[in-house]
């Protein structure tokens, strides 16, 4: 395989997964003049081909034209491919997107939770193992050489009210970094392109540090939002919910430290910044309300898997995840029963 760290001067960006995050990133990159190809299907494909992407970001509306197709062969190899599906859908989107991945394509998963690549690229007693809860048989590890991956942590709040329309009210940040915790030209190039497109792009030489910040942010908000239907400002600010959030936060910080992560925030600062995001519904709450599968495996179960490897108890987190799984199963059972009656 050629060294993917040597990139051409102009980058062709591919997006696999045209949900809220995928359409937001695609719109920003295309609006800045980058060639963007989006792998989509169904009503979303029709909307993108007919009118492009409409993005309502803060006080402006962006109309961006992209090349959209349900055929990865038609779109062809890209310089950078963002995987923007839910974590549990990576296994199905990756084979579909394979024709968009050439020997020098940089593949950047923009996913929640513990990524399947977590134990690749750095030396530890767990080096090379799969994260079973998100990659049960190691299929993702075998599907793509980890050297082609660029780690990423995405801080973007977005909703998709309808196909082709996305709303993203807050500033956007994507942190990229090598799995080996080394600097590279390719990470710098991607970050520069993101910054030029209006998405704050940063390069981290220790990508697992900001990854743990995002893991903890998801852990303290997403499962609880399914149980309470609370928005971010309510989760972190309501005196009836915030004490539970703080307990999960402290459990997450303890686990992050056990894996050597350097977390630069204190609990009060973290809580204040999360509350300041405003009345935003978590992605998991959006999925629950729409009857879609929840990312409980990546956002929660994988964290408990890593905790078990370190023999660190997380009782509050475990209880909340158990209730979230129960609620998800009850809702699905009810939906299936109601569907059978129709």
pTM score, whole prediction: 0.90
Across 84-88, 290-294, 302-306, the highest mean pLDDT is recorded for 302-306
Which residue's structure tokens are 């959030």?
A: 245
Q: Can you give the pLDDT at residue 282?
A: 94
Residue pair 12/37 in contact (Cβ under 8 Å)? The answer is yes
In 3-state terms, what secondary structure has residue 215? helix
Burial class (CB in 10 A: 0-12, 13-18, 19+), 35: middle
Q: Evaluate if residue 7 carries a pLDDT over 70.
A: no
Task: Read off φ and ψ for residue 19, nearest 5 degrees.
Answer: -85, -155
Count of helix runs (H) and strand runs (E) in the chain: 14, 12
Q: Which residues are part of the catalytic machinery?
A: 214
Q: Can you give the pLDDT at residue 279?
A: 94
Q: Nearest-CA neighbor of 83 among 106, 114, 56, 104?
A: 106
pLDDT tens sequence across 124-138: 999 999 999 999 999
Q: Can you give the pLDDT at residue 335?
A: 61
Average pLDDT over residues 227-251: 97
- Reading the block at residue 182, the tokens are 């080394």
- Reading the block at residue 42, the tokens are 């169904």
Q: Can you give the pLDDT at residue 338?
A: 53
How many whole angstroms separate alpha carbon 7 and alpha carbon 251? 41
Average pLDDT over residues 165-182: 95
Q: Evaluate if residue 5 carries a pLDDT over 50.
A: no
Q: Can you give the pLDDT at residue 334?
A: 67
Q: Can you give the pLDDT at residue 337?
A: 54
Residue pair 189/245 in contact (Cβ under 8 Å)? The answer is no
**Contacts for 219 with CB less than 8 Å, ≥ 6 apart:** 248, 252, 299, 300, 303, 317
How many whole angstroms separate alpha carbon 289 and alpha carbon 287? 6
Q: Can you give the pLDDT at residue 342?
A: 36
pLDDT tens sequence across 65-99: 999 999 999 999 999 999 999 999 999 999 999 99
Residue pair 295/87 in contact (Cβ under 8 Å)? The answer is yes
pLDDT class for 292, splitting at 50, 70, 90?
confident
In 3-state terms, what secondary structure has residue 259? coil
How many whole angstroms separate alpha carbon 106 and alpha carbon 6? 10
Long-range contacts of 275-278 (CB under 8 A, 24+ apart): 275/232, 275/233, 275/236, 275/237, 276/233, 277/157, 277/170, 277/232, 277/233, 278/169, 278/170, 278/231, 278/232, 278/233
How many whole angstroms separate alpha carbon 166 and alpha carbon 162? 7
Residue pair 265/102 in contact (Cβ under 8 Å)? The answer is no
How many whole angstroms separate alpha carbon 280 and alpha carbon 262? 27
Averaged pLDDT score across all residues of the chain: 93
Average pLDDT over residues 211-235: 97
- Reading the block at residue 251, the tokens are 């459990």
User: Cα–Cα distances in Å, from 273 out to 17, 212, 268, 305?
Assistant: 29, 16, 9, 28
What is the CB neighbour count within 10 angstroms for residue 106? Answer: 23
Domain 210-341 has CATH 1.10.1040.10: yes
Q: Nearest-CA neighbor of 110 among 137, 86, 78?
A: 86
The architecture CATH gives domain 13-205: 3-Layer(aba) Sandwich (3.40)
Q: Hey, where are the domains in the chain?
A: 13-205, 210-341
């Amino acid at each position: 395989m050629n060294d993917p760290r040597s990139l051409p001067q102009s980058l062709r960006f591919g997006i696999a997964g045209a949900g809220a995050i995928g359409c937001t990133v695609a719109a920003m990159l295309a609006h800045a003049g980058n060639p963007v190809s989006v792998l989509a299907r169904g009503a979303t494909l029709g909307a993108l081909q007919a009118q492009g992407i409409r993005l309502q970001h803060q006080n402006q509306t962006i109309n961006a034209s992209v090349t959209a197709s349900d055929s990865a062969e038609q779109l062809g190899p890209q310089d950078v491919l963002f995987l923007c599906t839910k974590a549990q859908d990576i296994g199905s989107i990756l084979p579909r997107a394979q024709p968009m991945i050439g020997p020098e394509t940089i593949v950047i998963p923009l996913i929640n939770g513990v990524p399947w690549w977590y134990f690749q690229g750095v030396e530890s007693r767990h080096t090379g193992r799969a994260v079973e809860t998100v990659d049960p048989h190691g299929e993702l590890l075998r599907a793509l050489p980890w050297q082609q991956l660029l780690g990423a942590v995405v801080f973007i709040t977005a909703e998709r009210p309808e196909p082709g329309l996305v709303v993203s009210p807050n500033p956007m940040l994507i942190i990229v970094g090598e799995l080996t915790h080394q600097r590279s030209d390719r990470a710098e190039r991607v970050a520069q392109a993101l910054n030029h497109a209006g998405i704050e792009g940063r390069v981290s030489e220790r990508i697992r540090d900001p990854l743990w910040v995002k893991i903890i942010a998801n852990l303290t908000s997403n499962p609880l939002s399914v149980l309470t239907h609370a928005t971010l400002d309510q989760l972190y600010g309501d005196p009836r919910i915030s004490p539970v959030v703080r307990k999960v936060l402290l459990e997450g910080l303890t686990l992050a430290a056990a894996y050597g992560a350097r977390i630069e925030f204190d609990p009060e600062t973290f809580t204040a910044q999360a509350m300041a995001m405003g009345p935003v519904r978590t992605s998991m709450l959006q999925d629950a309300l729409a009857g879609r599968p929840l990312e409980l495996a990546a956002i929660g179960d994988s964290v408990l898997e890593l905790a078990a490897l370190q023999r660190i108890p997380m009782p509050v987190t475990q209880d909340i995840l158990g209730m979230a799984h129960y609620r998800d199963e009850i809702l699905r059972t009810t939906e299936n029963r109601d569907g059978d009656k129709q």
